[in-house]
Structure 1
């Protein structure tokens, strides 16, 4: 078998593929897109970092391709959807750069407290100006960590070693997990109001984009120092520039940017109290060696028919099992993401129950798919079938799996319940209908519904009063939103009713506000499956 190493990885990784695994290896670093298209015609695997783009065209030009391995965390340069359609496994190495990024973050924090880069530049210019480079100490200061995953947790440990008080904002982190890490759980507003230093460690999602914007800076202490070595776009750069100019922010350190490379005319480049690095988070010899060897081992395992590890687009199971479990994996992921979007952010338990034919299957992959679905909007690109259980554990969420022999009224059924710390339950149930195994949602929050598990759903809880269907339809029609399907449910006439509307396009913010403002509406959520 032949492997294309398109971007430079650790020589030990290449040596492993060539000598220990026995594959033919083509090293073609810095190849043009046209050259890549030519090289992939007879390869079985491709190893990349962030430079080479594995597009739909590249995948179509590689009929023998079985696996794409990314030596690093993100897979932004790989068309994962196209790879999945062609049955190509896409893998990454999510843990390899944890320490490197945590240490770079703390380097930025130290440089934000003591202007070492600026002082060093001054010395090289022949100056001796001690008064111009006075700093502050970290000891007894408050650090706000936004996102307490692997990297955020490592930064918190280092801050504690410096005698800092650590506040942590992670809406999905259980109190027990925070206690074990000896950090204080805080709201985002608490951190903005109290922190002397803030560092962000969230994935870039719809919910986290511009999390730190003009309004956020208004809530902060004057003289805040803020840092981002996670993803560009979490901090709004234009808002940061204004906060730096006004003195609200005393110093900043950035390794990632909204657009990369950073524009030459960016005002951030000329600000004396900002330290910039060109996305160096994983740029240590140890991290690069680690991810290079790790991706080589993972690729070899796939090509030799072994375990699939750190796959972002399929579970760690063989091809025969995929054909059987595929529809269940799809349904499970959709139920997971549905229940996450209709429930509060912080939960203590994720309970999964299987009935009927599913009981006789190896449900481990389905359980992982449900967890991955639940985490999709929380952990972004980092979540996959392999790491979903550990991410749930890191959040302090207990996962319970039940296989029931009781009569459920369906040939097969799966239920996903989330339980909050105060005991409230939010739930969704689904089944497969028809020869092709069409996924259907049949229950939401103990209300019987029936709607195709596909696209966008408007989930409404309302007082059972006349005219609601027409009112909702009128608002959506005015917003040019086409209704594909609708399901109504109520327990008693005049009580509380449920309406699940499947729509072709997402309602506008104005339309959603209009719906929420209706006196009869108790809850309105737009859920994207």
Structure 2
């Protein structure tokens, strides 16, 4: 088995791989994309950090490739879809940098309160200027944490030790979880209005991009201090720059940026009330050693035919089981993703029901795929098939699995239901059919439909009146959006109807606005599978 270590990981991790019988380890740090294409021709595994890009082209050039291991959390540099299509396992190490990032966040927070970096620079310049570097205390100040996952929770513990009042905004967090942590669960607006300090710990998704923008900053206290050690793009940089210049934001600490590396002429570099670090979140000796050893062990397990851990595209199973359950695992992930996007942010229960041949299989892997699919747009890169149940439990969401012997009308069927706090149920069902065993969505919220479980979907509930199909088609056509597939469903003529439209490209904001504003449209959801 040949393992390519494309980026520098812990020497202990490399040594572990070399100790495996039958393993040949190639260390090729800093290789050009062309060199990587040449090296992967006969490798079975690749270990990377964030530097080397494992593109679809790289995966296609590696016919023996079984696994790509990322020593760290983010897999932005790996084409996961291309890997999945080729049956290549992609793994990360989601917990290795938790403490490192939490401690860096709190370091930034302290520097936002006491301008130590600026004072140190002044001292190096030969000055003795005590008056210019006066600070404030953290005691009895309010810290607002946007996103209370692994890292956000660790930051909260440290803030509480400093005597801070801690608020948290996390739309998926159950109130009971916040209460147990002695944290006040609030809305985003409440957090913005009440916080003296704000730190973000969300993954970067369509929902979180520019979460902190001009409008959000306008709601904040004058002089608020803001920090981002999570992902560039959660805070809109142009808005933050303007707020820093006007004094609306008193200080900021940034470790991540919309474009990295940060441009040499970035205005952030010239502002005296900003502390900048070059994406150091996981840059501690302990974190780097931990993720290096962890990814080496995970790669060795896969190549030796053992368990699969911390995979982002397959569950923790042996390779033979993956072959049998693979089609259902993929369908489960897509159903979970679909239901999350048509249901409210906070739910109490995720119910998964199986019919047909699936009942006789060990459906645990499929169940986890549904859970991961549901969490994929909530927890981002953090979620995988291993930790999905834990993350749901952390959010206060119960999971119920039912194996039914009744007649569903299909040889196999998976139904996923999300039950909201008010008892409302949001559901979708799917199966695999046809000569190519294609995944199909066959029901949405109790309405029978049939559309391929892939790509981008518009899910519309509308008054059943003539011309609706034409009107929606016209709106999309004028927006340059091609319709790939469409399914219609209604219960009674003249009532309400469902229209599920699969499109090639995402409709523009203006097209979505027109569709949602149409008098006959009762509900419109854009879903990405």
Q: TM-score range by the shorter chain?
A: over 0.9
The answer on 1:373 being equivalent to 2:393 is no
Q: Following the alignment from structure 1 to structure 2, what is the Cα–Cα distance between the partners of residues 271 and 32?
A: 35
Residue of structure 2 equivalent to 1:361: 361
Q: Following the alignment from structure 2 to structure 1, what is the Cα–Cα distance between the partners of residues 378 and 369?
A: 15
Residue of structure 2 equivalent to 1:518: 518
Q: 1:521 to 1:97 in 2, by over 3 A?
A: same
Kindly indicate whether the alpha-carbon contact (under 8 Å) linking 1:427 and 1:444 is maintained by their aligned counterparts in 2.
Answer: yes
Give the TM-score, by structure 1 length. Answer: 0.96
The alignment partner of 1:286 has SS state of helix
Residue of structure 2 equivalent to 1:42: 42
Residue of structure 2 equivalent to 1:218: 218
Q: Following the alignment from structure 2 to structure 1, what is the Cα–Cα distance between the partners of residues 51 and 256?
A: 16
The alignment partner of 2:19 has SS state of helix
The residue correspondences of 1:61-72 to structure 2 (distance < 5 A) are 61-72=61-72
Q: 1:515 to 1:134 in 2, by over 3 A?
A: same
Residue of structure 2 equivalent to 1:308: 308
Q: CA deviation at 1:503?
A: 2.7
Q: 1:475 to 1:319 in 2, by over 3 A?
A: same
Q: Following the alignment from structure 2 to structure 1, what is the Cα–Cα distance between the partners of residues 444 and 83?
A: 33
Q: Following the alignment from structure 1 to structure 2, what is the Cα–Cα distance between the partners of residues 97 and 35?
A: 30
Q: Following the alignment from structure 1 to structure 2, what is the Cα–Cα distance between the partners of residues 372 and 379?
A: 9
Residue of structure 2 equivalent to 1:140: 140
Q: CA deviation at 1:442?
A: 1.8
Residue of structure 1 equivalent to 2:166: 166
Q: CA deviation at 1:152?
A: 0.6
The answer on 1:153 being equivalent to 2:153 is yes
The answer on 1:476 being equivalent to 2:476 is yes
Residue of structure 1 equivalent to 2:342: 342
The alignment partner of 1:259 has SS state of coil
Q: 1:484 to 1:83 in 2, by over 3 A?
A: closer
Q: CA deviation at 1:22?
A: 6.1
Q: 1:85 to 1:482 in 2, by over 3 A?
A: closer
Give the TM-score, by structure 2 length. Answer: 0.96
Residue of structure 2 equivalent to 1:486: 486
Q: 1:98 to 1:453 in 2, by over 3 A?
A: same
Kindly indicate whether the alpha-carbon contact (under 8 Å) linking 1:430 and 1:443 is maintained by their aligned counterparts in 2.
Answer: yes
Q: Following the alignment from structure 1 to structure 2, what is the Cα–Cα distance between the partners of residues 17 and 206?
A: 38
Q: Following the alignment from structure 1 to structure 2, what is the Cα–Cα distance between the partners of residues 64 and 436?
A: 25
Residue of structure 2 equivalent to 1:320: 320
* Deviations 1:161-216 (CA, angstroms, capped at 9, x unpaired): 11111111111111122122221111111111111000001111111111111111
Q: Following the alignment from structure 1 to structure 2, what is the Cα–Cα distance between the partners of residues 104 and 244?
A: 21
Q: CA deviation at 1:506?
A: 2.6
Q: 1:204 to 1:493 in 2, by over 3 A?
A: same
Contiguous gaps of at least 5 residues in structure 2: none
Residue of structure 1 equivalent to 2:206: 206
* Deviations 1:206-253 (CA, angstroms, capped at 9, x unpaired): 111111111111111100000000011111111111100000000000
* Deviations 1:446-490 (CA, angstroms, capped at 9, x unpaired): 222222223222211223334333332332333333333333323
Q: 1:396 to 1:118 in 2, by over 3 A?
A: same
Q: Following the alignment from structure 1 to structure 2, what is the Cα–Cα distance between the partners of residues 61 and 448?
A: 42
Q: 1:60 to 1:527 in 2, by over 3 A?
A: closer
The answer on 1:232 being equivalent to 2:232 is yes
Q: Following the alignment from structure 1 to structure 2, what is the Cα–Cα distance between the partners of residues 507 and 58?
A: 31
Q: CA deviation at 1:281?
A: 0.5
Residue of structure 1 equivalent to 2:423: 423
The answer on 1:91 being equivalent to 2:95 is no
Q: CA deviation at 1:20?
A: 5.5
Contiguous gaps of at least 5 residues in structure 1: none
Q: 1:431 to 1:44 in 2, by over 3 A?
A: closer
Kindly indicate whether the alpha-carbon contact (under 8 Å) linking 1:307 and 1:316 is maintained by their aligned counterparts in 2.
Answer: yes
Q: Following the alignment from structure 1 to structure 2, what is the Cα–Cα distance between the partners of residues 290 and 325?
A: 32
Residue of structure 2 equivalent to 1:103: 103
The answer on 1:453 being equivalent to 2:460 is no
Q: 1:122 to 1:300 in 2, by over 3 A?
A: same
The answer on 1:407 being equivalent to 2:372 is no
Q: CA deviation at 1:17?
A: 1.6
Residue of structure 1 equivalent to 2:462: 462
Kindly indicate whether the alpha-carbon contact (under 8 Å) linking 2:305 and 2:319 is maintained by their aligned counterparts in 1.
Answer: no
Q: CA deviation at 1:524?
A: 1.0
Root-mean-square deviation (CA, aligned residues, Å) is 1.7
Q: Following the alignment from structure 1 to structure 2, what is the Cα–Cα distance between the partners of residues 19 and 501?
A: 53
The alignment partner of 1:385 has SS state of coil
Residue of structure 2 equivalent to 1:276: 276
Residue of structure 1 equivalent to 2:384: 384
Q: Following the alignment from structure 1 to structure 2, what is the Cα–Cα distance between the partners of residues 353 and 86?
A: 29
Count of residue pairs brought into register by the alignment? 529
Kindly indicate whether the alpha-carbon contact (under 8 Å) linking 2:20 and 2:300 is maintained by their aligned counterparts in 1.
Answer: no
Q: Following the alignment from structure 1 to structure 2, what is the Cα–Cα distance between the partners of residues 213 and 356?
A: 49
Q: 1:266 to 1:153 in 2, by over 3 A?
A: same
Residue of structure 2 equivalent to 1:179: 179
343-352 or 45-54: which moved more? 45-54
